[in-house]
Each structure stands twice: as C-alpha cells, then as structure tokens.
Chain A
Amino acid sequence: MAIDKTGIAKRIAQEVKDASYVNLGIGIPTLVANYIPKDRDVVLQSENGLLGMGPFPYEGEEDADLINAGKQTITTLPGSAFFDSAMSFGMIRAQKVDLTILGAMEVSENGDIANWKVPGKLVKGMGGAMDLVASAKNIIVAMQHCDKAGNSKLLSRCSLPLTGVRCVKKIVTDLAVLEVRDGAFHLLERAPGVSVEEIVSKTAGKLVVPAEVPEMNIT
C-alpha cells in the first residue's frame, strides 16, 4: 500500500544526519521536522532569515515578526540566530546548509526538477527554490509518485519549466525511495506492500531495478 504524506516525511527524516543544517521546503518537507530521531542534533534553516527554527508557538504567543518561509508563526530555540535575506542565501550559496528537502511537480532521470510554474495556469513563483537547488550539496525531493490524473512525475525529461538542472540526488514518494545518478532513477526501496511492478509501471523515466528491493522501514 502506498504511504501517506506522514509516511514520506518519516522516511525522509531517517536521511537527516546528526549535527547538520537542514532547509525544509513548504508542504511535506515541513512535516519532516516532526520525525527527526531524537538523538540527532539538527538545526533548521528558514530562508526568510532564521537558523534554529523551533516548533509552532502556544496559542496566544504568536509573534507577527517571527515566521518561517511558509509564513507560518514559529518560535526560536536556544542558539537561534536571525539574519537578512542576502546572508540567508549567502549561506545557502556557500554550501553551509547540508541538506535541502523540497517538493516537486516533476523530476527527470538526470536530476532536473520543476516545481514553480505551470504555464498559463499556475504561476506562484520560485521563491528560494532556484537558489537552493542550484547550490545545495544534497537535495532530497518529497512528492507523490504520480499527479492527480495518474501521470508519472518521474520523467525522462521534465515537461514544465525547470527550477534547476542535474541537482536532485534522492526522491521519496508514496511508493518508493529512489536515487538519481548516471542518468537514471535507481530503485532503492518500495513502500510496504507495493510491488516492484507497480513502481515500474508508474515511472516514466529510465528506472534501474536491482534483484532485491527491500521495503521501507517506517515506524
């Protein structure tokens, strides 16, 4: 059975290393913060100007001056630091941020990503996504394997305007964990109860399937 958004977030949380600086995008990536193992010390970067993002405030303690990149009210933690937007993207460009987790509309087999525009329909803008994907050391994409119409989002070439080229390293979907390298998706794990055949049928780009594909371990 396909896993839900929480399952995707839980699986990605396992990829977050101890003593790392991590930027979480809007949507499923934001949920990852809730499932990072307690023994791992992680500092979350919010690109609007905060290192050390804490949980949502208690009701009545919301501060209009203290929000995350998704414009949600948040809190600081001991050791937090504020800075302006140039420094924020400076530390991203200079690869001080270890891991970027973001959503996508499409990913191609060579690691291109599209997530900011559907021509003529939906134009939200790229926000910080283009800066993040152009500079990040490690990028993990969190997304559904197929769009709402059932079309694969893992393609040979992206059909939508690109956010960045040859940058995605890993993808966690509701069906699978895949690595992107050497111009192909490499199947690493499958969601509990999901068959390799289903993943093959729902992956439009080049997919390399090893002899054994273990199930994701999500607890």
Chain B
Amino acid sequence: MPFNKVVLNAKEACSDINDGATLLLGGFGLCGIPENCISELVKKGIKNLTCISNNAGVDDFGLGLLLYKKQIKKMISSYVGENEEFERQMLSGELEVELIPQGTLATRCLASGYGMPAVFTPAGVGTEVASGKEVRNFNGKNYLMEYAFDADFAIVKAWKGDPMGNLVFRATSRNFNPLMAMAGKITIAEVENLVPLGELNPDEIHTPGIYVHRIFQGKHFEKRIEQRTVRTR
C-alpha cells in the first residue's frame, strides 16, 4: 500500500530531524501538544532548533523540556508567560525569541499550507511588531505583510488518524494542529487512536492525509491540565 504512512513510533518518525532544524509544533498551552515527539527530541539531544509554537510549555512539560536541556536556539511564539526558564533564557540572551501575534502565527501556517507566499494583517500595525515589515493600505486601513512559514518539519497531535494520514482533532486541542500539519515540508502526526483505513467518515476529516507524511499511534499521553478550574455542584 503506497499510501501507508504508518511508522512504528516517535523514534522512527523523528529519525531524520537533526541539529539546526526548524520545527512547527502544534498545541495551545499544553492542550494538543505532540508529547511523544517532544520526549523523543529531548532523548535525541539534537540542538540549535528553531521552534515555532504558540507557547513554550511550562517548566517541566511540553517544550519546557527542550528549553531546559538548552536544545532550542530560537523560539517563535505568541505567548510565553507560564515558563520561568524561558523567561530567564530570554532575558539573559541565551535564547533568541521572536514574539508574534497569535492570529499572525496561525495565518502564516495557513498561507504556507495554501501555497500563498504572504498575507496581510492589521495585527501589530503601529507597534514594534511592524518593524522592518512592508505596510500596505487597503480601503483606508494599514496592514502588515507577513510571510508564510518555511519549516522543515511540522509535528502535530491528533485525536484520530488513519494509515493514509487523515486526521481528526478533538475539542480545543485542534487549535494550531491542522494549520501546522499543512505547513511542514515533512509533517509528522502522533495520534491517540490510529484507526483502520475506512473507519473515518470522509465528511468529518479535519486534515486530509495529503498534508501528512508520517503517522503513529502515540503512547502514554499525559494530557496535563495547566489550569484546573471547576465549579461546585
């Protein structure tokens, strides 16, 4: 079956990710992050990574694990408030950081997956985010030109997937995952449930398998909750 994209595990999926790679990593906070692949990248010990991800994890989970081992050279994120080690490395200059608006981050992934070199957005006009960027006026309003991402690998986490790489996400763990899945030169998907071909309803697929190159059944998902908030009965 030429379209069988199933690999054994995170180790095989990440085997050709090397020092200096640029990675798109799905997730919002700790919700919908590719836990298996992050663990594998930590284990591999590769360095000088450029990581594009909305957040940087927390001190002891998610991308925080890669930061702690100083494997990340540059982070491109929108919000990094929950990670002390991140803040320390950034303020000391050890870590290069580019903070960009969340919608810009999402749309630069979308542009990449849609084959568009750039998009125009009003986010950041008149702020330091606009520095060095082309400004265009449409209908009386200013917009910044933002380029599509050009990343070596996209690493995403899905709820369900099939051997052809079709993906279905669950609830708000969808977030950046389908966008980043579209934007990688090589896209790796780790899934909670790898189901047989034909089991996913074509009407309900969020990411068509054409965007996905490798897929595997993830193990031991911790799915840590960052802010557990409840109400009383």
Contact = CB atoms under 8 A, between A and B. Distances in A.
Interface of A: 46-50, 55-59, 61-68, 70-74, 76, 82-86, 88-90, 92-93, 112, 116-117, 120, 123-131, 134-135, 161-166
A85 B175 contact: yes
Contacts of B77: 125
A48 to B, nearest CB: 5
Nearest to A85: B106
A31 B141 CA distance: 33
Contacts of B54: 85
Nearest to B192: A65
Contacts of A62: 225, 228-230
B193 interface: no
B29 interface: yes
| Max count, chain B CB within 10 A of own CB: residue among A56, A65, A88, A120 | A65
Contacts of B173: 64-65
B7 interface: no
Contact of B122 (A55, A84, A93, A128): A93
B80 A82 contact: no
Contacts of A49: 28, 172, 174-175
A82 B169 CA distance: 10
Interface stretch (B16-24, B97-105, B195-203): B97-105
A71 B226 contact: yes
A65 B32 contact: yes
B135 to A, nearest CB: 12
Contacts of A73: 225, 227-230
B112 to A, nearest CB: 11
A49 B102 CA distance: 12
Given A84-B178, A123-B90, A128-B101, A48 B78 contact: no
Contacts of A47: 102-103
B226 A82 contact: no
B128 interface: yes
Nearest to B181: A84
Interface in B161-204: 169-179
Given A50-B172, A123-B80, A126-B79, A89 B102 contact: yes
Nearest to A75: B231
A66 B129 CA distance: 30
A35 to B, nearest CB: 15
Interface in B75-121: 77-82, 87, 90-91, 97, 99-107, 109-110, 121
Contact of B171 (A65, A70, A124): A65
Contact of A164 (B102, B103, B127, B232): B127
Nearest to A55: B231
B224 interface: yes
B170 A65 contact: yes
Contact of B128 (A71, A124, A161): A161
A131 B228 contact: no
B78 A65 contact: no
A63 B79 contact: no
A126 B55 CA distance: 11
B204 to A, nearest CB: 12
Contacts of B43: none
Contact of B102 (A120, A126, A163): A126
Given A65-B170, A123-B87, A163-B127, A56 B175 contact: no
A57 B230 contact: yes
